[in-house]
Amino acid sequence: MLEIKQNYSLKDLNTFGIAAKAKFFVVVRTIDELKEALQSEEAKGISIFILGGGSNMLLTKDLDYFVIKLDLQDFEITSENERIAIVRAGAGFVWHDFVLKTLDRSLFGLENLSLIPGSVGACPIQNIGAYGVEIKDTMYQLEALNLDTLEIEIFSNSQCKFDYRESVFKSELKGKYVIINVSFQLSKTPDLKMEYGAIKSELEALNITVPTPKDVSTAIINIRSSKLPDPNKIGNSGSFFKNPVISNTIFAPLLKKHPQIAHYKVDDNHTKLAAGWLIDQCGWKGKTINNSYGVHKKQALVLVNYGGASGKEIFDLSSDIIQSVKDTFGVALTREVNIY
């Protein structure tokens, strides 16, 4: 029997630690329980909201929704040969625990995505990425429940239409499917990606000359822990903004005016700017408001809730930052975090 709760506080279920409430709330542990919840009285005439790790959202008000927390925890190697294995994990699996488990089984490809907060089911929605690797590089397929038909459908990698922090589940299919598991094609031989300078210098600091994927994972855990706030200690949702991609016709005069501007080539016509650098230059880094929320001291891309802030206050701060970057550099930042 499902235990559906009313006016349930989501404070401990979103990494920003915002004290918003859900009109209805339930935890489901199986696909049958998920279907039962979707067909319950409470689900009638109300929007469904699927909650994963709560690590990429900002709640600016109480949710007049039926919030369903997925606790699907299966882990299985569904096929393998001498070279590769297909590994499937339930949507509720904590992402970082999943990465460590694949490394323990000597399956490689996810090591650069160590310590990203959130759940396996949420990771394809925004094609999570870090240190030169994105989910789209290894995701094999996923299974998702169609909310209209309650049938399970399979999405291949290309059907997910991945892009930088984007997928079909964030755009045309938003709110139409519940991802229930994700499969990855992982390699049995390491193929280390260490182009990010910080990885090599961290491995050197650890006195490792011939690194294994586990060593790269450890180096990334160290780098992330030194720059990004631990959501268990300080409320945050990782990068709050996307790194903006602009055309080179706009970039050329900007570079002339600001020769130090942090940037990366995207293709022959586009350049990606580091939002953290732009925000930092506008003087926001480390700014704290009312002793309760602000911009992280070590990474200007991350907004933090030291405790007690409302989602609306953090949202308003993000609007002020967008305005000031626009005024200073003429560049429009967009939020990476989902706002509710």
Q: Is 10 in the site for ligand EPU (CB under 6 A)?
A: no
Q: How far is the CB of 262 from ligand EPU (least distance, A)?
A: 4
Q: How many separate helices (H) and strands (E) can be counted in the chain?
A: 7, 20
Q: Is 122 in the site for ligand EPU (CB under 6 A)?
A: no
The residue among 4 and 300 lying less far from ligand EPU, judged by its C-beta, is 300
| Catalytic residue, candidates 88, 165, 224, 335 | 165
Q: How far is the CB of 290 from ligand EPU (least distance, A)?
A: 22
The residue among 127 and 181 lying less far from ligand EPU, judged by its C-beta, is 127
The whole-angstrom separation of Cα 259 and Cα 262 is 9
- Interface residue with ligand EPU among 119, 138, 299, 318 (CB under 6 A) is 299
Q: How is 56-114 classified by DSSP, letter by letter?
A: SEE--S-EEEEEEEE----EEEEEE-SSEEEEEEETTSBHHHHHHHHHHTT-BS-GGGT
- Interface residue with ligand EPU among 119, 218, 222, 243 (CB under 6 A) is 243
Which among 233, 239, 203 is positioned nearest to 130, based on CA atoms? Answer: 239
Residue 165 known to be catalytic: yes
The whole-angstrom separation of Cα 330 and Cα 222 is 35
User: What would the two tokens of residue 316 be?
Assistant: 């308003």
The whole-angstrom separation of Cα 135 and Cα 129 is 6
Q: Is 53 in the site for ligand EPU (CB under 6 A)?
A: no
The residue among 156 and 225 lying less far from ligand EPU, judged by its C-beta, is 225
Which among 244, 225, 240, 230 is positioned nearest to 311, based on CA atoms? Answer: 240
183: phi then psi, degrees, rounded to nearest 5: -110, 140
The residue among 23 and 285 lying less far from ligand EPU, judged by its C-beta, is 285
Q: Are 337 and 240 in contact (CB under 8 A)?
A: yes
Q: Is 331 in the site for ligand EPU (CB under 6 A)?
A: no
- Interface residue with ligand EPU among 143, 202, 215, 336 (CB under 6 A) is 336
- Interface residue with ligand EPU among 141, 167, 239, 318 (CB under 6 A) is 239
**DSSP state, residue 12:** G
Strands 63-70 vs 21-28: parallel, antiparallel or unpaired: parallel
The residue among 2 and 245 lying less far from ligand EPU, judged by its C-beta, is 245
Residue 166 known to be catalytic: no
Q: Is 163 in the site for ligand EPU (CB under 6 A)?
A: no
Helix axes 197-205, 213-227, angle to 10 degrees: 100
Residues 6+ apart with CB under 8 A from 167: 124, 125, 126, 127, 160, 161
The residue among 141 and 236 lying less far from ligand EPU, judged by its C-beta, is 236
- Interface residue with ligand EPU among 88, 96, 136, 242 (CB under 6 A) is 242
Please give the residue whose beta carbon sits closest to ligand EPU in the complex: 238
| Catalytic residue, candidates 134, 239, 313, 335 | 239
Q: How far is the CB of 153 from ligand EPU (least distance, A)?
A: 27
**Residues forming the active site:** 165, 239, 336
Binding site for ligand EPU (CB under 6 A): 130-131, 228, 238-239, 242-243, 262, 274, 276-277, 280, 285, 299-301, 336
